[in-house]
């Protein structure tokens, strides 16, 4: 198994891509902490993984609160003994143009998508250092690499921030054996994209941007995250793994 003996914490792990990552990590031998504000869904996933032979722990985690991160990391180390992998997966979206965006909406998205990744990284590093190293995987977006006319400025800015925070982390902590990489998914079938997929015009627009001609599935991203979490990626840090059906190749 590719993650045998590893301990992982996944934010936004109760549903969507995070839940698929949690199931895959457990299948590949990792013990997994599921962090999310969605308590019912998180506890159901915890029970599911434990009932099928894995080991999982749910913790309530609001990624915008440093104290929540501290509790989540402490709970992980107390339960499983260490922390090897952090997946900063939690995120929210937005729509609108620059001039139509309120300060409140800008702050809301930046708080979750950018500050949440910063806080998770900041709190996880001491635990990883104590364990001799680790892998931090930050979920950005293809829109952290290129702009577009149908997503909000705050979403794109937040995902660009994740990309460069990842590189700063990689450089600053490489000598301690802590790797950091960003993942850049294109349109994926998740609850977050449900509204866009239900709108025929937006759906056709999205597909027109994807050379492979379809939305990706959460598993398409999860296997990339699995690789970066594993020792197979031991010489990979500061990199961008693009999983976007060809969106950014155009």
pLDDT at 21: 98
User: Which mean pLDDT values do the consecutive 10-residue runs of the chain (250 residues) have?
Assistant: 98 98 98 98 98 98 98 98 98 90 96 98 98 98 92 95 98 98 96 82 89 96 98 98 97
- In Å, what is the CA distance from 17 to each residue of 11, 22, 70? 10, 9, 23
Nearest to 6 by CA among 109, 85, 71: 85
Q: Are the CB atoms for 62 and 120 separated by under 8 Å? A: no
Estimate to the nearest angstrom the gap between the alpha carbon of 99 and the chain centroid: 29
59 CB neighbour count, 10 Å cutoff: 23
Beta pairing class for 134-139 and 85-88: parallel
pLDDT at 150: 80
pLDDT at 28: 98
pLDDT at 23: 98
Residue from 155, 173, 203, 227 carrying the catalytic annotation: 155
Q: Are the CB atoms for 31 and 53 separated by under 8 Å? A: no
Q: List, as one string, the DSSP characters of 110-130.
A: HIIIIIHHHHHHHHHHHHHHH
Distance CA 90, CA 92 (A): 7
Nearest to 17 by CA among 218, 245, 235, 192: 218
**Is 155 an annotated catalytic residue?**
yes
Domains of the chain: 7-238 (3.40.50.720)
């Amino acid at each position: 198994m590719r993650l045998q003996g590893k301990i992982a914490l996944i934010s936004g792990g109760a549903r969507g891509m995070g839940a698929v990552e949690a199931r895959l990590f457990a299948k590949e031998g990792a013990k997994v902490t599921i962090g999310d504000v969605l308590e019912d869904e998180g506890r159901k996933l915890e029970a599911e993984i434990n009932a099928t032979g894995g080991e999982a722990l749910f913790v309530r985690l609001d990624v915008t609160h440093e104290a929540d991160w501290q509790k989540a990391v402490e709970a992980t180390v107390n339960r499983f003994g260490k922390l090897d992998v952090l997946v900063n997966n939690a995120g929210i979206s937005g729509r609108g143009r620059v001039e139509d965006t309120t300060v409140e909406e800008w702050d809301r998205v930046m708080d979750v998508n950018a500050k949440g990744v910063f806080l998770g990284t900041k709190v996880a590093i001491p635990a990883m250092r104590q364990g001799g190293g680790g892998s931090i995987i930050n979920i950005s977006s293809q829109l952290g690499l290129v702009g577009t006319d149908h997503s909000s400025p705050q979403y794109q800015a937040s995902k660009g921030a994740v990309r460069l925070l990842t590189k700063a982390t990689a450089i600053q902590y490489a000598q301690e054996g802590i790797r950091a990489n960003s993942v850049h998914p294109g349109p994926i079938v998740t609850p977050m994209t449900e509204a866009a997929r239900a709108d025929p015009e937006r759906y056709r627009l999205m597909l027109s941007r994807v050379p492979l001609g379809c939305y990706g599935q959460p598993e398409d991203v999860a296997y990339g995250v699995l690789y970066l979490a594993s020792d197979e990626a031991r010489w990979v840090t500061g990199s961008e793994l693009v999983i976007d059906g060809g969106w950014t190749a155009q």
